Structure 1
Amino acid sequence: MITEERKLKTYRWYVWGALVIAYIIVFFHRLSIAVVREELVEAFDITSTTFANLGSAYFYPYMVMQIPSGILADSLGARKTVTLGTLVAAIGSILFGYAPTIAVAFLGRFLVGIGVSVVFIAILKVQSQWFFEREFATMSGLTAFMGNLGGIFAQTPLAVLVAYFTWRTTFIGIGVISLGIALLCYMVVRNSPADMGLPTIESLEGKKREIIKTPPLGEGLVKALLNKRTWPPFLAFVGFFGAFMTLTGTWGPSYLMEVYGFSRQEAPNYTTVAMLGLSLGCIIIGKISDAMKSRKMPMLGFGGIYVTTWGMLVFVGGGKPPVGMLYPLFFAMGVGCSTFVLGWACGKEVNHPSIAGISTSIVNIGGFLGAAVLPPILGRVFDRYADVLEATALFQKAFMYCFIFAAAGFLFIFFIKETHCKNIYEENKQK
């Protein structure tokens, strides 16, 4: 038994590691389009709104696929789901790189969004099978940290690759690498320890394995949607993630080049720092939450930092903070944005354990709804006022929407039910 336990505790990191490599690709595609804005505008002769919609073409299918992703993870299992999803993303990336027209570029971006949409929910499913419940927030934070490395790669390193190889070759190359990652996941990932004849997590904790009857999909979905406690973390995620993706994934490098005069290679350094802050924040907030046995208090603390940084970006210096402030400001913004990591746990812990996948998926939809809707709003501001306002005033006007989204997300944290890091569905039902 000791040998089997050791094998489980070792092999689970191989399973998690293979899935996280796929998740790095998820974040790369999520943020990559901001760095190649000038190249895309030149290649396809598109407006700011069309460019923003091209970025959103990733988020809309990602958002819609969150519930189906949970179904696939439960039915096909994480192994096959991530393998197939990564294959679709690889095809989309290659198609995007080859795209002769903007319509084909949209199709490639759409396929990437569909393909990568299944990865995160599958990782959560695997975590529930291979890791202890007390490790959930910490592992979610660690997963987000590793995924964000892909976001960091989509900043300065991507700018260097594009300058050296061109944007088309770079995206085709990422597609080819994704094919190898899909094969790796199929070879390494196992859905649960039972697939290898290993003991369950419950048995290692000395618990009797609960047989939880999973309700039909429609019934489970309705239960989660009708639970009023599902919505505050959803809405907080809309505001926080929407604003952050708008900056780092769509308009940030353009802001830094047009307002501060940075070069195409220099501007992504600042969004890289924001991604680094988010990566570290995801680990820190997960550990703090697990150690404090609290979800809400860390969210209020980190969320307050996040809203403050957006206020500084929009209001200090008339929308142009001193250059010396930018690195610490962007880093603090990333750290503060990590608040959303605890939203997944909040959504899971206020719903019945039998619908943990569905409830987590619903909360996850919120972030991608914000990331899909907000960038085109800014795009319309740029198209409408570009000939009227100078760059600083133009971006200040546009980023005001990001500040509003972030502030609204922070307010919804106050409505989140404190779970003390455990499932409280039955407790609340009895009250």
Structure 2
Amino acid sequence: MNSSQEKIKKMMSYRWIIWGVLVLSYVIVFFHRLAIGVVREDLVETFGISGTTFANIGSTYFYAYMLMQIPSGILADTLGARKTVAIGTLMAGIGSILFGVAPNLLMVFLGRLLVGIGVSVVFISILKVQSRWFKESEFATMSGITSFVGNMGGAMAQTPLAIMVAYFTWRSTFTAIGVLSVLLAIVSYIVVRNNPKDMGLPTIEEIEGKDISSKKMENPPLLKSLYQALTNKYTWPGFFVFTGFFGAYVALTGTWGISYLVEVYNIEPSTAPNYFTVAVLGLAIGSIVIGRFSDRIKSRRLPMILFGGVYTLCWGIIVFVNGGKPPIAMLYPLFFILGFTCSTFVLGWACGKEVNHPAIAGISTSIVNIGGFLGGAVLPPILGWVFDTYGGQLEATVLFQKAFLYCFIFVAIGFVFTFLVKETNCKNIYNEIK
């Protein structure tokens, strides 16, 4: 084997090591995203907080994550994924430790804020690394696999977290996760490289024999890039689909779902997270299946309409069947299908990338990504307001039906926007629509 072949082999192997380290950071992202719902009773008991305050603690993560999406794209493009993920994961670790040892509510909010800011940079950085270390034809598949593995962190934030909290207390658990995050930040800095060239290895373009010298596109100026993506009307349908779909999903699986099962169905608090582990697994599997299905039939819009319709139907069942209390036998399959079809929003990232200039893929996908975290930040406190306002007046089933009606409205609005998605046939069409 000659030197050139050895370098190609090393590049094709080392990229998996880089991706593996980064995706571990992404597991931490999902863990923190959904963990707050499991420790609700512990926080209420420790700090004596109301439903609205609890929801605001959860939303702090999403506000931070949402506001950091465009800066995350800029950091990944300028500072590089290596330093961006290392610093972000370190900050998330410090935030988790602070959350775990917090002596008062202010420190709880500060810890949650640091976690949200820290983990917000991970996903966009992974997309950036994928664009440098993997073939273009592998991008959708790798994004689906990344989402699948990341969602395992969400699964950890359900039953496994409930078990850890029961044995080690919520404080010790979040402190330990923080220490693990700090160690992972160090590993990220040591292992990750932004580009094969950083290791003297051939790029994907060189391996594929592409003539990049004549096709090289310089990034437009930052403000011009941002303006270009923001003013492109086809960027926004994916944004609103993500807002409605993911906001409702988070409100159920990450904030109020455990309380719903305990108070409406009298399910034990230790057992209730099992139901949402199923939903998280559905989301993880759906991310891969729907992404591959979309690539295979070379359509974005049709899968979003089909699966989005089923997702809307799932929420209709939760809110309207049997007065807001579907038969308990339905819950496991219902939550799995709900999670599976919710993952329709992953196609929004591809749509955002495919309707904008190829050189600003980071910025265009980060704009779409803001939508989900806007929904995750806004919707849970709306439900918290319902619980605080009507909690002493309405029976539990009616109370949750009234609250979850807002989730259904968000989802229904998101579903309407699936019909406004610009069909790209799974290729960049910017030159055709500009």
Which category describes the TM-score, using the shorter chain as reference length?
over 0.9
Distance 1:201 1:285 in 2: 26
Are positions 1:25 and 2:28 aligned together? yes
Are positions 1:291 and 2:296 aligned together? yes
Residue 204 of structure 1 and its aligned partner are, at CA, apart by 2.4
For normalisation by structure 1, the TM-score amounts to: 0.98
Distance 1:140 1:303 in 2: 19
Structure-1 residue corresponding to 2:112: 109
Are positions 1:140 and 2:158 aligned together? no
Q: Deviations 1:233-285 (Å, cap 9, x if unpaired)?
A: 00111001100011111001110111111111100000100000000000111
Structure-2 residue corresponding to 1:275: 280
Structure-2 residue corresponding to 1:316: 321
Are positions 1:329 and 2:329 aligned together? no
Secondary structure of the structure 2 residue equivalent to 1:387: coil
Distance 1:185 1:52 in 2: 32
Correspondences of 1:97-176 after superposition (within 5 Å): 97-176=100-179
Distance 1:148 1:298 in 2: 21
Q: Deviations 1:201-252 (Å, cap 9, x if unpaired)?
A: 1222222113211122111111100000000000111001100011111001
Secondary structure of the structure 2 residue equivalent to 1:46: coil
Letter in 2 for 1:12: R
Distance 2:343 2:231 in 1: 27
Letter in 2 for 1:413: T
Q: Deviations 1:351-410 (Å, cap 9, x if unpaired)?
A: 001211110110000000000000000000000111111100000000011111111111
Distance 1:204 1:313 in 2: 51
Secondary structure of the structure 2 residue equivalent to 1:321: coil
- 5-14 vs 86-95, which moves further: 5-14
Structure-2 residue corresponding to 1:235: 240
Letter in 2 for 1:336: T
Q: Deviations 1:113-149 (Å, cap 9, x if unpaired)?
A: 0000000000010011111112222111111111100
State whether residues 348 and 360 of structure 1, in contact with CA within 8 Å, keep that contact through their aligned partners in structure 2: yes
Letter in 2 for 1:414: F
Are positions 1:65 and 2:68 aligned together? yes
Distance 2:201 2:342 in 1: 38
Structure-1 residue corresponding to 2:11: 8
Structure-2 residue corresponding to 1:53: 56
Correspondences of 1:25-424 after superposition (within 5 Å): 25-209=28-212, 210-424=215-429
State whether residues 274 and 332 of structure 1, in contact with CA within 8 Å, keep that contact through their aligned partners in structure 2: yes
Residue 195 of structure 1 and its aligned partner are, at CA, apart by 1.2
5+ residue gaps, structure 2, are: none
Secondary structure of the structure 1 residue equivalent to 2:71: helix
Letter in 2 for 1:95: L
Q: Deviations 1:135-175 (Å, cap 9, x if unpaired)?
A: 22211111111110000000000000001100001000000
Residue 30 of structure 1 and its aligned partner are, at CA, apart by 0.4
Distance 1:77 1:415 in 2: 34
State whether residues 63 and 365 of structure 1, in contact with CA within 8 Å, keep that contact through their aligned partners in structure 2: yes
Letter in 1 for 2:235: T
State whether residues 305 and 336 of structure 1, in contact with CA within 8 Å, keep that contact through their aligned partners in structure 2: yes
Residue 88 of structure 1 and its aligned partner are, at CA, apart by 0.3
